[in-house]
Amino acid sequence: MFHWLEKHPFFFAVGVFVVIAFAGLIEIVPNFAQASRPVIGTTPYSTLEIAGRQAYIKNSCNACHSQLIRPFKSETDRYGHYSLSGEYAYDRPFLWGSKRTGPDLHRVGNYRTTEWHENHMKDPQAIVPTSIMPGYPWMFTTNADIDTAYAEQLTAAQFFGVPYNKPVPMKDGSTTVVKLGNSIAEAHAMALEEAKAVVANMKDQDVKDAVARGEIPEIVALIAYLNRLK
Amino acid sequence: MNFNEFAAYAYFFLIMFLVIGTYSYIYHLYKNRKDVTGVDYEDYSNMALKDDIDDAPVKSMSDDKEK
Amino acid sequence: MENRPLEYDYTVAKMFMLTTIVLGIVGMTIGVFIAFELAFPGLNTILGSGLAEYTNFSRLRPLHTDSVAFGFTVSGIFATWFYVGQRVLKVSMAESKFLMFVGKLQFWLYVIGVAAAVVTLFMGYTTSKEYAEFEWPIDIAIVIVWVLWGVSIFGLIGIRREKSLYISIWYYIATFLGVAMLYLFNNMEVPTMLATSPAGETNIGDWLHSISMYAGTNDALVQWWYGHNAVAFVFTVPIVAMIYYFLPKESGQAIYSYKLSLLSFWGLMFVYLWAGGHHLLFSTVPDWMQTMGSVFSVVLILPSWGSAINMLLTMKGEWQQVAASPLIKFMILASTFYMFSTLEGPIQAIKSVNAIAHFTDWIVGHVHDGTLGWVGFMIIAALYHMAPRVFKRELYSKSLMAAQFWIQTLGIVLYFTSMWIAGITQGMMWRAHDEFGNLAYSFIDTVDVLHPYYALRGTGGLLYLVGFFMFAYNIYKTMTAGRRVEESELQNASPMGA
């Protein structure tokens, strides 16, 4: 039998495939059947938060920052409660990262403010003198791509059943609804409302002016996203 | 039978199959110094060492057709 | 045609040799640059703050990993396939116009794909999944290139003269199948332009954007099943294919035990795929999977060392060749580094070690002693072996090659030693508590302490890059200025002896 396999390249290839597919079948398939139910209190991302998340991905923040708190005292002391699977239920893609050149960000919204992020993103060394993080000044002048963020929300709702416009249970027993705009124009209007709330705590006059004009710089979206990480 | 039970059985039998497969392969390799066409496995190294285009193959495709 | 004797046709191999060298230079240069950015953050704005977006660490990091993995290494795999494949199957590509066409088509599509990947990554189009950053149109291009390569492999096998498949061919087939499976499943994504708004608008937003089919923990699971096994099927399996051909050929020694090579092949195929879970220890994936990943990582030592020991024993009684030939030196050091990193990996996969090592530079060090020492050296050695044969010229300079070997070896040693110290230091500092149970260090304390190691690592990388430029120069001079030799002269003598 082995001999025959060695001389018949097609069946040999099939044999190799079976052997290498084996682990994937055992490990991954069963988990898919039951994983990733959202924990109570986890809501889908708003349009502005998605735009911020896209900015986070665009600049590969995940190359240096993890979003995964391991269940050790040293980590929970530093970053907060360890991460739970259901907290990531709406994360497409996941952003756990694999390297902590900078600190974990999974609960950064609990201990950093809008103002802190604003100053830090513009010039990290102004806040942490020996930081090796580069500044991201272009995020203050480049506008966030709200159209694509809206398209991403629609895709999540239409292809993966993410519960937009539906009540989502919260920790205190109440429910909350994350609204999804009916049209591009409405999505823009909703994102702008959120942006105004963020900008109220910011100092940069150019960013404030831009939002007043109806534009949304990337930094505003990014801060909305980072503030939501709790 | 629920899914997990099915997965457990499937896992068990696949592992059995692979264990038997592996050990019979080892037995096959080391019991028979030569393969069924009479070539010593260790001679297969010559496929790399004598790989000029006009070197004789270790076991030629055309040998088979003549049989 | 009748009067001309049949020869192996290396046209496609030569094309991919070119991209191996060019993309190697690109990827390694970016790598050295971003290594120094970590030591000296001022470099992030080296071209001024206007262009900072394109020179900062985070934008360049995927460009580095992808150009060395999918540029340098994959080109090297293709180049050696189009050389080794013909030879061990004893069939020339000149015998099939179809396969020649497919080979060339594959090359040009590959070049287009690489160009598109570089441009989109610079612009910030990324899916964020490591080693799978490309957006969906490039994924489709990659799949097509891969299928064309499959046609080449099985086409050449179909017209072979040698009935049995040499062990290297086994490994190339496994590379083809493994990467195909992993890449397809990990890159399942939905382009966001397919969505329709309630108001009826379609094609909203950027057409290049897509989102993953999997969410959260599942996405992580699939990604690291992919990520780890991309290492298997790009950085291990095809490189083993190369060494099983080039080391016996260059040294004139038969493989120590051909049977052992067959056994370790099946062992590697079965065990490797399980080990992906070790990237997710203490994460939110189920515990049994983490344990499985950890256990299988340790089991993986067996098939890996089976191959590596087989290679070293091939030199039994012929160790004077290692002293005499820089080419053999490259290959022996490559298999030594293979042994070393396949021991280091399982150690890091043990849960209690991983608790310290994960997220630190030790992991970066581990990847690089595998890639610089094992993958890089083996591909360099393969190209050095091929160059005289495909260009029919003697290698330009043996002493340059020896100098390159020592410079690069020093570079690797500096790289992994500094990353070991950096990783373990930082891992220990993160978890240190004072006598009251409070954290002993703030995060920035643990970054400040790394500066000298980052500088040392950059230096190690720079030495390796310098060596790579020497390699490129040596190959270039071989092509243009080497003494012409007939193929027959080279058959059984190493080019070193010529």
Give B3's contacts in chain A (Cβ within 8 Å): 30, 33
In this structure, what are the phi and psi dihedrals at residue C439, rounded to the nearest 5 degrees? Answer: -60, 135
Mutant choice from A6, A7, A16 vs B, greatest count of B C-beta within 10 A: A7
B–C: how many Cβ contacts below 8 A? 76
Chain C CB contacts of A138 under 8 Å are: 52-53
pLDDT beyond 70 at B65: no
Residues of A in contact with C355 (CB under 8 A): 70, 72
CB contact under 8 A, B18 and A22: yes
Mean pLDDT for chain B?
79
Written as one letter, the residue type at C61 is R
Q: Which two tokens stand for residue C93?
A: 């590509």
**Residues of A with CB below 8 A from C197's CB?**
150, 154, 181-184, 187
Query: What is the per-residue pLDDT for C465?
Result: 97
Residue A18: its chain B contacts at CB < 8 A? none
Contact C77, C175 (CB under 8 A): yes
Shortest Cα distance from B6 to chain C (angstroms)? 17
Q: Is A2 on the interface with B (CB under 8 A)?
A: yes
- Considering only CB atoms, A154 lies closest to which of C37, C181, C197, namely C197
CA separation (Å) from B55 to A147, A177, C4, C28? 64, 75, 17, 40
Coil, helix or strand at residue A107: coil
Q: How far apart, in Å, are the Cα atoms of C24 and each of C199, C375, C419, C443?
A: 49, 12, 22, 35
Q: Please classify residue C76 by burial: count the beta carbons closer than 10 Å to its beta carbon, then call 0-12 exposed, 13-18 middle and 19+ buried.
A: buried
Residues in C closer than 8 angstroms to A99, CB to CB, are: 359-361, 363-364
Contact C244 B48 (CB under 8 A): yes
Q: How far is B53 from chain C (nearest CA, A)?
A: 5
B53, B63, B64, B67: which to substitute to probe chain C, counting the most C Cβ within 10 Å? B53
Q: Which residue has the higher pLDDT, B1 or A108?
A: A108
Tell me how far apart the alpha carbons of residues A143 and A159 are, in angstroms, rounded to a whole number. 27
Higher per-residue confidence, A183 vs A2:
A183
For chain A, how long is the longest CA-to-CA vector? Answer: 76
Residues 6+ apart with CB under 8 A from B11: A26
* B47 Cβ under 8 Å from any chain A Cβ: no
Neighbouring subunits of C (3+ Cβ pairs under 8 A): A, B
Q: Is A168 near chain C, with CB under 8 Å?
A: no
Segment A157-164 long-range contacts (CB within 8 Å, at least 24 positions apart)? A157/C195, A158/C195, A158/C196, A159/C190, A159/C194, A159/C195, A160/A92, A160/C215, A162/A44, A162/A90, A163/A44, A164/A44
pLDDT digits (tens, 9 = 90+) for A143-171: 999 999 999 999 999 999 899 999 999 98
- The closest alpha carbon to C458, from A132, A200, A59, belongs to A132
Please indicate if any CB of chain A lies within 8 Å of the CB of B25: yes
Interface contact flag, A30 B4, Cβ < 8 Å: yes
- Quick: pLDDT tens for A3-51: 777 778 888 898 889 888 887 777 777 666 665 678 888 999 999 999 9
**Which chain C residues have a beta carbon less than 8 Å from that of B59?**
162-164
User: What are the tokens at C282?
Assistant: 């203490």
φ and ψ of C284, to 5 deg: -95, 10
Q: Got the DSSP string for C8-57?
A: ---HHHHHHHHHHHHHHHHHHHHHHHHHHHHH-GGGGGTT-GGGHHHHSH
List all residues of chain A from 25 to 54 with a beta carbon under 8 Å from chain B: 26, 29-30, 33
pLDDT in single tens digits along all 498 residues of chain C? 445 678 899 999 999 999 999 999 999 999 999 999 999 999 999 898 888 899 999 999 999 999 999 999 999 999 999 999 999 999 999 999 999 999 999 999 999 999 999 999 999 999 999 999 999 999 999 999 999 999 999 999 999 988 888 999 999 999 999 999 999 999 999 999 999 999 999 899 999 999 999 988 889 989 999 999 888 899 999 999 999 999 999 999 999 999 899 999 999 998 888 888 899 999 988 888 899 899 999 999 999 999 999 999 999 988 999 999 999 999 999 999 999 999 999 999 999 999 999 999 999 999 999 999 999 999 999 999 999 999 989 899 999 999 999 999 999 999 999 999 999 999 999 999 999 999 999 999 999 999 999 999 999 999 999 999 999 999 999 999 878 877 655 654 455 543
State residue C114's pLDDT score.
Answer: 96
Q: Do B49 and C249 make contact, defined as CB atoms within 8 angstroms? A: yes
B4/A2 Cβ within 8 A: no
| CB-CB neighbours of B13 under 10 Å | 10
pLDDT at C488: 58
Residue range A128-139, pLDDT digits in tens? 999 999 999 999
- Answer for the pair C111, C129: CB distance below 8 angstroms, yes or no: no
- Taking the Cβ of residue A68 and every Cβ of chain C, the question of whether any pair is shorter than 8 Å is answered with yes
B24 Cα to chain A: minimum distance (Å) = 9
pLDDT for position A36 = 63
Distance from CA of A126 to the nearest CA of B (A): 55
CA distance A56 to A51: 9
DSSP element (H, E) containing C191: strand C189-191
| Whether A33 and B3 lie within 8 Å, measured CB to CB | yes
Q: Say if CB A142 and CB C195 are below 8 A apart.
A: no
Q: Which of C34, C126, C211 has the most A C-beta neighbours within 10 Å, making it the best mutation to test the interface with A?
A: C211
Q: What is the pLDDT of residue C81?
A: 97
Contact list, C284 vs chain A (CB under 8 Å): 68, 83-85, 88
Number of neighbouring beta carbons within 10 Å of residue A205:
8
Coil, helix or strand for C162?
A: strand
The pTM score is 0.93
Residues comprising chain C, all counted:
498
The structural domains of chain C, ordered by start, are: 11-194+203-490 (1.20.210.10)
Q: What is the pLDDT of residue B67?
A: 40
Question: In whole angstroms, what is the distance from residue C155 CA to residue A21 CA?
Answer: 24
Structure tokens at A173: 């027993």
Across the interface, whether the CB atoms of B42 and C5 are under 8 A apart is answered: no
Q: Do A26 and B7 touch (CB under 8 A)?
A: yes
CA-CA distances (angstroms) from residue C139 to B59, C66, C124, C132, C381?
40, 13, 16, 9, 30
**Residue C109: what pLDDT?**
96
Q: What are the boundaries of each domain within chain A?
A: 2-34, 47-228
pLDDT at B66: 44
Amino acid at position C114, single letter: V
Judged by CB atoms within 8 Å, which residues 157-216 of C form the interface with A? 157, 163-165, 170, 173-174, 177-178, 181, 185, 190, 192-199, 201, 204-206, 209, 211-216
What is A47-228's CATH number, 1.10.760.10, 1.10.10.10, 3.40.50.460, 1.10.260.40?
1.10.760.10
Q: Does A111 touch chain C (CB under 8 A)?
A: no
